[in-house]
Amino acid sequence: MRTVGARRRGVPISPSMISGRMVEYAGFSESVPAYLARPSDDHVRPAVVVIHALFGLVDHTKDVADRVAREGYVALAPNLFGTTELAGVLTPESVQKAMRLLFRLPRRDPELAREEIAKLPETERSIVGPTVEKLLGGLPKDRFVKDLVAAVDYLGTLPSVRRDRIGSVGFCFGGGLSASLACETSLRASVIFYGENPSPIDRVRSIDGAILGLYGADDTRINADLDKLVKAMTEYKKDFEMRIYPGAPHNFFDDTNGTTYREAAAKDAWDRVLRFYRRTLMA
């Protein structure tokens, strides 16, 4: 645990201890499980919604929530795949197997994917098949955004949270959702780690708070549309910061992935996130 750091208005920015536990909140259509991490004191603090990548609410996502809490924020990491419809289909293990299959394809084509699935043993096919189908167009992204809006509302009911100081951070799939969430509800600050742009891009017009975008220079698919994001942020006069890291691929922040993790870029990105939140959420 971190030691108590500097104080602002009597509230320790870096608390001495944090606690974490699973909770449930009312989502758009049913309860959503989530990991809640917070400083162990009684101070009222800003909050951050931590949005997982495509592998779901794994230990890495909870670790990010803990890191956010150690910096003096209440952190809520919803499991967007934890609903009745998706819990058995989008497990971390099934998504990992499905992604390995998709990476073998020359392009993400449903017919090509079905041909590859047909070659698998029956037990493997029954696990991977439904997951691939979901990943290739069956993800209810609109519902995910509504569940995230509900997460913001839930944080606003907690006595330990400043309702006017709520932000978000998301990674990969969750980075795109962090951007979409900023378009749908009033947030003070949103961080996008290598996520897709809001679609359509004109939704940027609705953003109230500040945006920080962090990208790997080698992430060609995501970066192909960054010019549209910059243009929209400029056109609608938004508070927008962006950093692109040379030599960094997609998923460069995930220190559990030895293939994509880039330590220098990840450390610099985290430092930027903390400075960004101090400017927007701690102010």
> Same structural domain for residues 52 and 66?
yes
For residue 42, the model assigns a pLDDT of: 87
CA 208, CA 226: separation in Å to the nearest integer? 20
Note down the domain range covering 127: 92-138
Point out the catalytic residue in the list 250, 254, 255, 268: 250
Paired sense of beta strands 31-39 and 74-78, if any: antiparallel
1 domain-assigned: no
Point out the catalytic residue in the list 66, 172, 183, 254: 172
> Same structural domain for residues 185 and 148?
yes
229 domain-assigned: yes
Q: What is the pTM of this model?
A: 0.93
User: Is 219 considered catalytic here?
Assistant: yes
250 domain-assigned: yes
Point out the catalytic residue in the list 66, 147, 183, 219: 219
For residue 138, the model assigns a pLDDT of: 82
For residue 11, the model assigns a pLDDT of: 61
> Same structural domain for residues 62 and 99?
no
Q: Quick check: 53 and 174 in contact, CB under 8 A?
A: yes
> Same structural domain for residues 128 and 158?
no
CA 240, CA 122: separation in Å to the nearest integer? 49
Whether the link from the prior residue into 249 is cis, omega within 30° of 0, is no
128 domain-assigned: yes
> Same structural domain for residues 29 and 108?
no
> Same structural domain for residues 132 and 147?
no
2 domain-assigned: no
Dihedral sign computed on CA atoms, order 230, 234, 237, 240: positive
Per residue of the chain (283 residues), give pLDDT as tens.
333 333 344 465 667 699 999 999 999 999 999 999 999 998 999 999 999 999 999 999 999 999 999 999 999 999 999 999 999 999 999 999 999 999 999 988 899 999 999 999 998 999 999 999 999 988 999 999 999 999 999 999 999 999 999 999 999 999 999 999 999 999 999 999 999 999 999 999 999 999 999 999 999 999 999 999 999 999 999 999 999 999 999 999 999 999 999 999 999 999 999 999 999 999 8
> Same structural domain for residues 147 and 254?
yes
Residue 53 burial (CB count, 10 A): 25
Alpha-carbon Rg for the chain in angstroms: 19
For residue 12, the model assigns a pLDDT of: 59
User: Is 172 considered catalytic here?
Assistant: yes
For residue 75, the model assigns a pLDDT of: 98
Give the count of domains, the chain: 2
